[in-house]
A and B are shown apart, each in its own frame.
Chain A
Amino acid sequence: MARVMNWQLGREMSYWYPESRPNKQFAAVFDTNKCIACQTCTLACKTTWTSGRGQEYMLWNNVESKPYGFYPLAWDLKLLESLEGGKWTGRKYEGQTIFEQAPAGERVLGWRPESQDYAYPNVGEDDCTGQIDGGASMAMPHMNWFFYLARICNHCTYPACLASCPRGSIYKRPEDGIVLVDQGRCRGYQECVKGCPYKKIFFNPMTGTSEKCIACFPKVEQGIQPQCFVNCIGKIRLAGWISKPENAKPENPIDYLVHVKKIALPLFPQFGLEPNVYYIPPVHVPTSFTRQMFGPGVDDAIKAYRNAKNDPDLASLLCLFGSSEMVMPRWKRQGDTVSGLDEKGNTLVKVPMNEPVHVRAAYDKLYQISRTNCP
C-alpha cells in the first residue's frame, strides 16, 4: 500500500495506489436542512439512468431518513461497528480507515449486501418518536428527531470501489475526478460492491456487471449540473469543483463553503475515502450523532450556518443553490444580489438575496370576487 495525504483526516493514510489527484475534482454541497424528502432527485436519476432490466432495485441517488432509514439496510452501522465509531483528537483522525483495517488477503475492509438489504429503501421513514401527548410507546436510542440524508456516489479522491477491483475495471477520470466502471472490462466479481462503504455501486444481475452513479458526466462535460441537482425541489444542492485546502479559492463556491466557511462537511470521513459530496449538517440533531457522521467540524459548521443572517457573503451564496442548471465555478456578491459566474467571469445567473414580497388582497375589487388559496 502507498502513503497518501487525506486532508479530511488531517494526516497521511495507506491506500492501494499512490496519490494521483485529478486536474479538477467534481464536488457538491448538500444542505440537509432544506431537504424535504420528496425523492424528486431519486426519480430524476431513476428515469434517466436506471430504468433497465437488472436495475429495478438500484437507486444511484437515494434519500434516507436518519437515524433509522438505510439503503441498503444498516450500510453505515455495519462499518461503524468494525471501526468502533472512529476516534478523533481535535481535527486529526486517530482511528483506522477501511484501507488500514483491511484483513489479511483483502484490499479493504468491506461487507457484501444481499438482495434483501436493498428491499427497504427507507425503513423508518418519518418515524419520530417524540411529541406524542401520552409519551412514546417505546424507548429508542434516538428520540425526538430525524433528518433527511440525500446520497449519491461521492466520487471519492481515494475510491474504495476502484481499490477493490482486482482487474482495474474502475477508473477516476483525470479531467473531472468522476469515478466510472469500464462496462467493457468489468467481470461482475462485485468486489467494488463489497468495498464501497457508502454502497453506491451496484451489481446488475441481468448484465452481470457492476454499475454506479456517473455524476451525469455527459451533462457535466457541457457545464450543466447533474439531474438530481437541477430537479431538486428543495434547492439543497450545488455542484462544482473542489480544490485541496491549501489551494482554496474563495471565489469558488464549493471552496468557500468547504474550506473558507467550513460549513459543509464530508460524510463519514473516518472511512478514509476523502468523499467529495459535502453536507451542511442538520442544525436540530444532537451533535453527538452528527459528529460521528460528519466528523469533528460539526459544531463550528452549525455555528457558522446559524450566523448566516449576519454574514451577507455566506447568506448570498446559499441563495445560489438551485438557481441555475449551469455549473457555477465562480460567484460574487454585489450588495444584496449574488451572481453565479463561469470560469471567465461571465454571469450565468443573478439572484436577489431577498425576493420581493407581493401581498394580494383577500378581495379582488376588479372582478369583485373573494380570493381563496385553492388552486
Chain B
Amino acid sequence: MRDLEEKLRILGAAARYDASCSSGGSHRAISGARRGSCRLPGICHSWSDDGRCVSLLKILLTNQCVYDCAYCANRSSREVPRESFTSDEVADLTVNFYRRNYVEGLFLSSSVKRSPDHTMEQLLLTVKKLREEYGFKGYIHVKAIPGSDHDLIREACRYADRISVNIELPTEKSLRLLAPQKSKEDILGPMGRIHSDITANREERRKFVNAPSYAPAGQTTQLIVGATPENDLQIISLAEDLYNKYRLKRIYYSAFIPVSPDPRLPQLASPPLLREHRLYQADWLLRYYGFSSRELLDDCQPNLDEDMDPKSSWALRNLHFFPVEINIADYETLLRVPGIGVKSARRIVHARKFHSLGFEDLQKIGVVLKRAKYFITCRGRYFHRSEMDGDLIREKIRCESPAGFRERSTTGQLSLFEHLSADEPHNKVPSSITGEL
C-alpha cells in the first residue's frame, strides 16, 4: 500500500495539468447522450482546492519520458521523481475508487516511456484489462499518444468511452519551438483517423445494433494558452476548424503555468486564467450560439475583450442588430442577446405562445436583465427610455462584470467561473450536464 500511495501521489500530481477531465465550471452535458451506449459521466464527485471538478481518477501510467517538451513538468531534462504504475495497479485503484463512489471512472494519460508505440501498448493493455478482467463498467477516457501505431489507438477505442490527442500548441511553429519531438502530423494524423473511425463506427451501429462500440463519447483535445505568442483569433479559428473537420466534442484550454524556467517560455506573473475563461466563453458561442470565429474577432481586433464577455463585446460592435423584440424574434436571434442563454431563449419561445412577455416575465424566466435590458424591447418598449448609446452601455456592462474578474488581475484568482452559463439561471445542474467531459 505504501508503495501504491507513493505512486498515486506522483502520478496523480503529474496528471493534474491536463484540463480535459476537469476544467473549471465548464462541465456541461454534451447533447450527445442520445444512445444508452453513450455513457457520459456528468457527475462531479468533488471539487479540488483549485475549484476544478473531480469526476475521474486522473493519472499518468508513467511519468518517465523520452521527450523534452519545454512547457511540461515531466520533460526528460527535469529532475523529478519518476514512477510507473502496473496495469493491475491502475485497474485495482479504478474499481475500488469507483465502487466507493469517489469517481465515475478513469482518465488515463501517460508520458512517453521508451517509445510512442510502447506507451500506447501499455495504455491499451491497461484499459483492456480493466474491462475484460476486472469487469469495469464505468467511464474511461484514454490518451492517444502522438506518433504511435494507429492499430493500437484503434483497439484502445474499443474499450474507452472517450479518446483525446492533445494538440498542445496552436501553431506548428510553436510546436517546433517547444515540443520539437512532436510534429503537426503526429497530432492531426491520429485525430483525423480517429474521426473517420468514429464516423464509420456510428454508421455501422446504425445498421447493426450489436456492432462493437468505438469511443462512444467521441474525441476531445487540449491546448495550452499563453505559452506562445498566438492571438485569440488564431486560437478560436483553429478551434472552429477542429470542430468542423474532426467533430471534436470539446476543446480544453489550459492557461499556461510555468513549471520550469526556460528561455523559450514567457515569464508570467500568474497563469492567464481570465484569458482562458474568455476563450471558453468564445468556444461556447461557436458551439451553441451559432457564432463564427470571424464574427467574434478579426485582424483589427484579434484578441478577446478582457473587460466583458465576448457576446456583449460582439453586441456592442453590432448595435445595428438591436434592439431585438422579445415577442417576435426567432430563437437564433434571441441567442445573440447578451444576458439570454440557451435555456432562457428556449423558455421565451415557449412562454410567449400564451401571452406576450413583459420585462418582469423575463426576469422570472431567468434572463439576466441587467445585461439584456440595453438590447431588447418588450411589446415595442425599451426598459429605459434612453437611447442606445454604445459607450454608455459599454461602461455599464464593464462595471457590472463580476467582482471576481477585477480581483483576479491582482491576485490571479478567478472567482466566477461560469463560462457563459452566467447567462443562465443557476439551476442548470447537469441532467447529465456537468457531464460532458
Our verdict on whether A and B bind, yes or no, reads no
